[in-house]
Chains A and B, each alone.
Chain A
């Protein structure tokens, strides 16, 4: 089952490589972590992007030209991502590249896009991604600053004693999430950060961390733990008797998590880039298109990011013309102003859309928007 699906992705990418240039499509070069520890996120993003490109092509493409996605696996290794970016630009002749996941890969490959003057996307919420002095990089998603500011405000308004414990993954994303969170909380004098630490992606035992949080008398818990590690963590939290208001970023929005650890999640505040409970027309369009190409599967936030990337690029080409060069495309991208499932996308000076995040609360076994 799974194998068939993977082979399908494999076949699609192979087909992409060998595709005849009959219709001379516009090439969208995607370098993404399909294998390695975060391969599953990269796979979701790729599916979302492909669904978006398929949708655009089904609407007739741009000026008669269709889009083609060239997918290359980076294993999530930055050095690999640099080689992929070079290859996508110089060999595959992509008009736009997208180096997605992890953030360090997006960071590393920006010099390639800058040198070749080829516009670039790349799904990451790490703040530094837009600070690389690369005018060709655009981020049509939200970022950690916005997420943290949202959560900091939630924390400040809680009736708790506001003794906050922070925990995030020991990688590019988690490191910046905690840093930014601490900064954001500084503007609320009655909030005290009593504990902060990082866990390993490979970590299996959280009980020491929770014991220390308990010893620090934390009552507000910011836990950035991804599913399914999050299920383990929530169970262990209950095991050691740690109680407190859960305040979380993107990672606790997950239907399977809700099913398996519902009771433990009760009352939690959660931010999400996007969630399928959104019922705006753009989201509906996205869900429908995605389910059509993916056997009825419900998309997640990574898939939504992929879809948005496709929409932003299609829109830019629509305005700049199908034959636009890198510079023209960059100008068109800078002038982007579209509606998407994650909201209005309009880039600032740094090329950051600073899209808003969704704030949800888990109550009575379901996610509710706030």
Chain B
């Protein structure tokens, strides 16, 4: 909310500023910078929010420029209609690029987007009949006046300026609305933690593609405006000279924020013009400024200003969740569950081979509705591998998994999640840069309203669902005792609180079966006690739970049943008392007695 105000304040200032500037050259530079802001906004979606190094993405700016130029000049479309059409056209082309490149990840993905940008460049350069080739397209109609007689906006430059500010405001509203919807949350989730996102039903590739295409659409509109502002477009707009500038603007301004792309476009968009004083040494300075910005301002100008403005920002202390109302909720009764029902999960003959190593061998068991099942065993026994197979992260070599009557063997992680299974990870896995509440809100993805029309229009149904999500998030945080930390960034939480946050995230999915991977590891005794209460309370609410744990007191006191794995084999299955007296179990844990001191 705060940044939204800042953005519109900034735009209003820029708008007002335009009246103070009378020199047409400065007006021109400012106008072009405003147009660039559309592209940085679009780039920000895929690079800043979804975190994908789409280095070739700014080429879509030029695609939009060509689309609108050709529509007006070849097909005779009205300028504003052509600009509006440039968005979807660019988005359509970007879909093809996204499909080819987003199969790769990280730097390789980045390089392929560059390759795609090069292909587009060569096509525009050589398809002379269509694009005009290296000559470019000249005499593109300028943005027409909306009305000849606006009393308060007499001259054309101001009209266009105000119009651009309004359009940019509209684009910002659009981005803002997306970011406050399941779309934005999915992008952030993919950026912050892909495996966790997948476990919450957010298919990473699909959401990257959506972000890529949405961003390209915005850039395309920007490019179209650019074409009609400067009246010319040619293939050099697709070369690295142009592409690099967009990245300087976004990173310099602050990627991943609402304000950053606008500030970056305004400041760094004008920079090359300011640097004209250096004449032919201009690139030397531009490169130097780029390197210095990256080194000295890692989160751009906006990040730097934010830190200067509120020095308090990153709390030095590690924040700890207070013991929540878990004690009051549910019957914190350590006794056995009363209502153990029919089987919810059936594992049949699951085996997993990694190269020559048999990590799991013919595992069979059932989990009944409302049960808490403990999964224990020494390091390397195959417990986490089993979890990975159940949740679709790893494909089993053999065997079958049935969940609530559906065969989920080797389904992808997001699809397993959609069936109602959620998990936590052995190594703490949260969305570190987001707040506690945002973390949990992301997890509601599967049951949120993702209809694009409802999101954009902000329909009643959409708002009602978002309110329901907010309610559920605060309910979950109350339950897990994190309510007081709702606005703290997850990375600033104590380890114990992060463990609780993981459980909270899993609960956000409204799952039926919860898999906990070493939830108590590293917790102190009071935190462990709190966790135990929470687990029991969840069981009493009807959730079925499987927990991997090394803390035996936790397992003994919480679980209805315990399965012991060793070297990939199930060596025991029974109640706490049965398991703890099993000779094979003791041997597995303490080591064999065979060793004779030398």
Contact = CB atoms under 8 A, between A and B. Distances in A.
A139 interface: no
Interface in B312-341: none
Contacts of B76: none
Given A79-B230, A83-B29, A91-B25, A103 B135 contact: yes
Contact of A175 (B135, B138, B139): B135
A103 B231 CA distance: 16
A86 interface: yes
Given A79-B236, A90-B24, A132-B138, A73 B282 contact: yes
B134 A82 contact: no
A9 B281 CA distance: 11
B594 interface: no
Given A77-B241, A87-B273, A107-B232, A128 B135 contact: yes
A104 B126 contact: no
Nearest to A36: B241
Contacts, number: 107
Contacts of B230: 79, 82, 108
Contacts of A171: 134
A9 B29 contact: no
Given A87-B25, A90-B24, A107 B136 contact: yes
A78 B279 contact: no
A10 B139 contact: no
B232 A108 contact: yes
Interface string A47-90: 00000000000000000000000011101111110111011011
Nearest to B241: A77
Given A132-B139, A172-B135, A175-B134, A71 B234 contact: no
A364 interface: no
B228 to A, nearest CB: 12
Contact of A71 (B135, B279, B283): B279
A175 B235 CA distance: 14
Interface residues of A, number: 43
Given A14-B279, A72-B276, A78-B236, A91 B23 contact: yes
B23 A108 contact: no
A198 B125 CA distance: 11
B237 interface: yes
B280 A83 contact: no
Nearest to A111: B231
Nearest to B279: A13
B24 A175 contact: no
B277 interface: yes
Contacts of A9: 280
A107 B279 contact: no
Contacts of B281: 10
Contact of B135 (A14, A34, A86, A104): A104
A233 B283 CA distance: 32
Contacts of A10: 279-281
A78 B273 contact: no
B28 interface: yes
B28 to A, nearest CB: 5
Given A72-B276, A78-B136, A108 B234 contact: yes
B23 A107 contact: no
Nearest to B273: A83
A35 interface: yes
A116 B25 CA distance: 11
A42 to B, nearest CB: 10
A41 B24 CA distance: 30
Interface string B285-322: 00000000000000000000000000000000000000
A6 interface: yes
Contacts of B133: 172, 175
Contacts of B231: 82, 108, 111
A110 interface: yes
A108 B136 contact: yes
B32 interface: yes
A98 B414 CA distance: 61
B232 to A, nearest CB: 4
A65 B28 CA distance: 31
Given A10-B279, A108-B231, 5 more contacts: A89-B25, A107-B138, A110-B138, A111-B139, A172-B136
5 contacts: A80-B272, A89-B25, A108-B138, A111-B232, A126-B135
